[in-house]
Amino acid sequence: MTEEIATKIVLAARPKGKPTEADFRIERTPIPQPGTHELLLRTRYLSLDPYMRGRMDDRKSYATPLQIGDVMTGESVAEVVISHVPALAPGDLVLAETGWQTHYLSDGKALRKLDHRATPVTTALGVLGMPGFTAYSGLRFIGQPKPGETVVVAAASGPVGSLVGQLAKLSGARAIGIAGGADKCKYVKGVLGFDEAVNHKSASFSEELALACPSGIDVYFENVGGIIWQAVLPLLNKFARVPVCGLIAQYNGVSNDDRNNTVAATMREVLTRSLTLRGFLNSEFLKYYPDFLTEVGDALRAGKIKYREDVVDGIENAPEAFMGMLEGRNHGKLIIKVS
């Protein structure tokens, strides 16, 4: 099984929009030899994931971009071939950040040893790996579906989406999957057990999604963006939660020109900087009103809080004052002295 040479796939050029063959290059080198305290790994299974598209751009994201000529990033199930590290022996299987290449030298520190007797090793790249953990953590810590609520996820037949829906079902929520094509929809509903699956390639997709969510959407697990987000937005219920873990529909699409003026740009920042955007009405927190009156009232009386009022005389002047306020012409709290 040992190859004579190592093969690696490097970034040859930065994609403009969709990547093409020309953006990748295959390189062949001699198999590297491990130094003292090093291991030689042979990649068995390489995981391909949408986030890799982001690394190909020369743009600050949550990770450092690849440089031209770098081996493409990627996580693998790899086998130890030569070990100068006590904890691992030839034949052991590990999870490793090998990148897109057949051989990899490691100091053993960032490796997780896999137990292939418990579950098939490839699950460590999917349902029991980073994609699965993304589904789990986003749903558990941000989405927090309650029994009876409606959870929607796109790319529902994919590794993240398929687990999101199944975990939603296990927590007593309704799960609606969005997928591209009748086959994927059939799998999502028939095999994964989602309550409904909606085909985003359908001409009446928005209407079908609305029909599948008669009580609106309480959790939308966002991993696609673009037109899916446009269809979901009007269906979101009050207090809906939107964990944003990916925007695959936008990865090939947002140019730098768009960055400052599109919803895609906002969503991209939400994603890459783990932002929290949270709409609210103060009525939601009304039980804390007495605390507010005490704290801010005391601070006000102690001179620690200043305020200013802009008092306009006469109710007849309310419309003009109101119009001015919308353009920022007042200074301080606008109040009409009526009588």
- Restricting to residues 90-129, name those near a second copy by CB under 8 A: 100-102, 118-119, 122-123, 125-128
Q: How far apart are CA 202 and CA 228, in angstroms?
A: 12
Q: How far apart are CA 45 and CA 158, in angstroms?
A: 18
Position 64 contacts a second copy (CB under 8 A): no
Q: How far apart are CA 310 and CA 317, in angstroms?
A: 13
56 to 39, 95, 224, 307: CA distances (angstroms): 28, 23, 18, 51
Q: How far apart are CA 121 and CA 128, in angstroms?
A: 9
Residues 219/152, Cβ–Cβ less than 8 Å: yes
Near a second copy in 191-250, by CB under 8 A: 191-193, 222, 229-230, 233-234, 236-245, 248
Which of 33, 117, 256, 301 contacts a second copy by CB under 8 A?
301
Position 320 contacts a second copy (CB under 8 A): yes
- Residue placing its CB nearer to a second copy in the complex, 176 or 249: 249
For the chain, the straight-line distance linking the first and the last C-alpha, in angstroms and rounded, comes to: 93
Number of chain residues interacting with a second copy (CB under 8 A): 144
Which structure tokens are listed for 59? 């743009």
Which of 14, 31, 53, 71 contacts a second copy by CB under 8 A?
53
Residues 84/38, Cβ–Cβ less than 8 Å: yes
Which of 13, 16, 18, 207 contacts a second copy by CB under 8 A?
18
Near a second copy in 251-290, by CB under 8 A: 251-252, 260-263, 265-267, 269-282, 284-285, 288-289
Position 182 contacts a second copy (CB under 8 A): no
Which structure tokens are listed for 279? 């709409």
Q: What is the DSSP string of 96-155?
A: E---SBSEEEE-STT-EE--TTTS-GGGGGTTTSHHHHHHHHIIIIII-PPTT-EEEESS
- Residue placing its CB nearer to a second copy in the complex, 7 or 202: 7
Region of 71-79, 86-94, 145-153, 207-215 interacting with a second copy (CB under 8 A)? 71-79
- Residue placing its CB nearer to a second copy in the complex, 102 or 150: 102
Could you tell me the smallest distance in angstroms from the CB atom of residue 259 to a second copy? 8
Near a second copy in 128-147, by CB under 8 A: 128, 130-134, 136-138, 140-142
Binding pattern for the stretch 142-171 against a second copy, x by CB under 8 A and - elsewhere: x------------x-xxx--xx--xx--x-
Could you tell me the smallest distance in angstroms from the CB atom of residue 247 to a second copy? 10
Which of 46, 69, 91, 211 contacts a second copy by CB under 8 A?
46
Position 47 contacts a second copy (CB under 8 A): yes
Short-list 29, 44, 53, CA closest to 75: 44
